[in-house]
């Protein structure tokens, strides 16, 4: 009997867990969206506004009072107002004394002011406990419920208790608080929403530069050279032929560039005999954008697949096929099937299909929703082992397809190598060095170093230690 009643007690809602009233200053877009979400999560909300008239836009169940009246009703006040209006808070300093003020503001430009908005607020109201939060969440995402991609809420502040109170609200709204430390971190947090694809910059610029280079390279050799020396106008190659040469080359080179920094890291660690010394900055940055390089490579590979699939529809291809048939008819001679050619074409197609399949698998496992569901070992297996296998297959695909041009003098127009030879330099270099690195005599010391062993511990004690992320 007793046991049953205790179970019932455990299942009954905890009525004492009533949420505390939260005050929001400002009934603008963000104030309304946040208030709406808070009411849904069980918080009584009171707005402090210049106008106490209730409009249809304000969430039902919320009260709208003057700033002073609203502030008196809550211990936490969210300042949903632009920084340039913060002066109006000075006369309220006494009422706001000891209260937790949540600064959610953003600026229009990076480092727009000498101090962060949150530090500015703390200077204006030294008696209040200022916490920075919510600025990386958009009003639209709050209102529409599309917060999946931005569930993290960065929180910082000097008062630990105040920060904890704000983090509890963040959790209650089904978001994830991420403690960034003291209010000194506010400037960095305020800069986050103003950054435009920061990790993508290097991969995008590199891809654009290489694409432009290879495009003009092909244009010179396949269109301009042919026009000058053979009087053939192949300018239409610009639409499909050249892009279908540039895309696979880019996909292969970028995939190799995903694995190249890991090779450099291994060589550096072997040379230094320790993992406790920082990699050069350029290598650190390169390692951080490997996923982006891989995704751009996948985009190029997908374009190559689409361009290849439309090949039979092209007028040039139908003309070339019918020309071959007509010449056989005119000569009254059927060309026998070359077994070697059939093998070559089937082999490079099979290698390409398998390589592309693994490429797609790598792309899928890099999605946060998938990578969150595999453990570190599984993730490493796919990204490292299967990734290298994808690189081997794609390199072999290019070798088998482009190999016929390597020794042919006609491929060296203007003494320049064919684009497929250029495409193979980086991937082959990566694969050869990787092959050397997996030799037991090299792999053993490298594994030991990555497990913390040092060849010369005394030397590394004197240096500035920062543990490198072990390279995949
Ligand atoms: P908003 O729509 O322009 O609303 C700002 C509110 O501030 C106004 O509705 C007004 O509320 C109040 N206000 C305006 N002038 C004032 C003055 N002179 N004195 C006192 N109060 C004044 O702006 P918002 O989009 O809600 O953004 C508010 C803050 O949230 C900004 O700092 C912004 O950077 C930050 N934020 C916005 C978003 C977003 O998606 N919108 C996302 C993250 C952070 P009353 O009329 O009720 O007084």
**pLDDT for the residue numbered 150:** 61
Q: What is the DSSP letter of 468?
A: P
Q: Which of 23, 59, 71, 81 to mutate to test the pocket of ligand 1 (most atoms within 8 A of CB)?
A: 81
Report how far residue 430's alpha carbon sits from residue 259's, in angstroms, rounded to the nearest whole number.
Answer: 7
> Atom 19 (ligand 1): residue with closest C-alpha?
85
Instruction: Work out the angle at residue 240's Cα, subtended by the Cα atoms of residues 236 and 245, and round it to the nearest 5 degrees.
Output: 115
> Atom 1 (ligand 1): residue with closest C-alpha?
28
Other beta carbons less than 10 A from residue 243's beta carbon: 19
**pLDDT for the residue numbered 448:** 93
350: exposed, middle or buried (C-beta count within 10 Å: 0-12, 13-18, 19+)? middle
Q: What percent of the chain shows pLDDT beyond 70?
A: 92
**pLDDT for the residue numbered 368:** 74
* 146 pLDDT tier (thresholds 50, 70, 90): low
Strand 176-179 to strand 152-157: parallel, antiparallel, or no bridges (unpaired)?
parallel
Q: Which of 23, 29, 154 to mutate to test the pocket of ligand 1 (most atoms within 8 A of CB)?
A: 29
423 contacts: CB under 8 Å, gap ≥ 6 = 248, 249, 252, 253, 398, 402
The radius of gyration of the chain's CA atoms, rounded to the nearest angstrom, is 31
User: Which of the pair, 95 or 147, is modelled with greater confidence?
Assistant: 95
CA of 453 to the centre of ligand 1 (A): 55
* 94 pLDDT tier (thresholds 50, 70, 90): very high
Q: What is the DSSP letter of 221?
A: I
**pLDDT for the residue numbered 97:** 97
Are 183 and 157 in contact by the 8 Å Cβ rule? The answer is: yes
**pLDDT for the residue numbered 470:** 46
Output the six-digit token pair for 190. Answer: 């305020």
Over 80: is that where the pLDDT of 198 sits? no
126 contacts: CB under 8 Å, gap ≥ 6 = none
**pLDDT for the residue numbered 375:** 81
Are 136 and 193 in contact by the 8 Å Cβ rule? The answer is: yes
Over 60: is that where the pLDDT of 206 sits? yes
Report how far residue 189's alpha carbon sits from residue 195's, in angstroms, rounded to the nearest whole number.
Answer: 11
What SS3 class is residue 378? helix
Output the six-digit token pair for 221. Answer: 């050799």
Output the six-digit token pair for 55. Answer: 């409009």
**pLDDT for the residue numbered 383:** 82
Q: Would you say how long the chain is, in residues?
A: 472
Alpha helices by DSSP H, 366-418: 368-371, 376-380, 387-406
CA of 306 to the centre of ligand 1 (A): 47
* Residue 112, CA atoms < 13 Å, CB-side half-sphere: 13
- Torsion angle defined by CA atoms of residues 219, 222, 227 and 230, in that order, rounded to the nearest 10 degrees: 170
pLDDT digits (tens, 9 = 90+) for 353-372: 999 999 999 999 888 777 77
The pairs formed by 206-210 with CB atoms below 8 angstroms and a separation of 24 or more are 206/257, 206/293, 207/250, 207/254, 207/296, 207/300, 210/250, 210/253, 210/254
Instruction: Work out the angle at residue 400's Cα, subtended by the Cα atoms of residues 212 and 220, and round it to the nearest 5 degrees.
Output: 30
**pLDDT for the residue numbered 148:** 56
């Amino acid at each position: 009997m007793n046991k049953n009643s205790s179970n019932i007690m455990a299942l009954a809602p905890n009525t004492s867990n009533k949420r505390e009233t939260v005050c929001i200053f400002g009934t603008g877009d963000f104030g309304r969206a946040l208030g709406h979400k808070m009411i849904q999560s069980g918080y009584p909300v009171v707005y402090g506004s210049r106008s106490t008239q209730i409009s249809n836009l304000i969430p039902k169940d919320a009260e709208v009072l003057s700033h002073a009246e609203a502030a008196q009703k809550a211990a936490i006040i969210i300042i949903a107002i632009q920084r340039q209006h913060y002066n109006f808070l000075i006369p309220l300093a006494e009422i706001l004394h000891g209260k937790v003020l949540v600064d959610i503001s953003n600026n229009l430009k990076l480092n727009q002011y000498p101090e962060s908005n949150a530090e500015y607020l703390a200077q204006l109201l030294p008696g209040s406990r200022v916490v920075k939060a919510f600025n990386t969440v958009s009003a639209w995402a709050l209102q529409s419920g599309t917060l999946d991609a931005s569930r993290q809420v960065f929180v910082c502040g000097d008062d630990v208790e105040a920060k904890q109170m704000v983090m509890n609200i963040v959790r209650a709204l089904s978001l994830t608080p991420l403690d960034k430390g003291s209010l000194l971190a506010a400037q960095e947090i305020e800069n986050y929403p103003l950054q435009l694809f920061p990790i993508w910059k290097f991969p995008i610029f590199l891809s654009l530069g290489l694409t432009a280079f290879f495009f003009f390279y092909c244009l010179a050799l396949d269109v301009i050279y042919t026009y000058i020396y053979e009087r053939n106008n192949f300018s239409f190659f610009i639409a499909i032929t050249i892009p279908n040469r540039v895309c696979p080359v880019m996909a292969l080179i970028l995939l190799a560039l995903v694995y190249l920094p890991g090779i450099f890291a291994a060589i550096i660690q072997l040379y230094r005999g320790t993992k406790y010394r920082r990699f050069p900055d350029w290598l650190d940055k390169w390692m951080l954008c490997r996923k982006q390089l891989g995704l751009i490579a996948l985009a190029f590979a997908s374009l190559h697949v689409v361009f290849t699939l439309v090949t039979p529809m092209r007028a040039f291809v139908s003309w070339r096929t019918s020309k071959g048939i007509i010449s056989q008819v005119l000569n009254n001679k059927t060309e026998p099937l070359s077994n070697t050619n059939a093998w070559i074409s089937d082999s490079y197609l099979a290698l390409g299909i398998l390589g592309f399949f693994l490429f797609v698998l790598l792309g899928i496992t890099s999605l946060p929703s998938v990578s969150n569901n595999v453990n570190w070992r599984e993730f490493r297996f796919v990204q490292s082992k299967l990734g290298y296998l994808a690189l081997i297959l794609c390199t072999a695909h290019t070798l088998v397809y482009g190999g016929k041009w390597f020794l042919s003098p006609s491929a060296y127009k203007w003494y320049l190598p064919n684009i497929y030879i250029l495409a193979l330099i980086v991937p082959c270099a990566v694969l050869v060095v990787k092959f050397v690195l997996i030799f037991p005599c090299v792999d053993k010391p490298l594994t030991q170093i990555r497990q913390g062993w040092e060849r010369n511990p005394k030397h590394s004690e004197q240096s500035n230690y920062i543990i490198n992320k072990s390279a995949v």
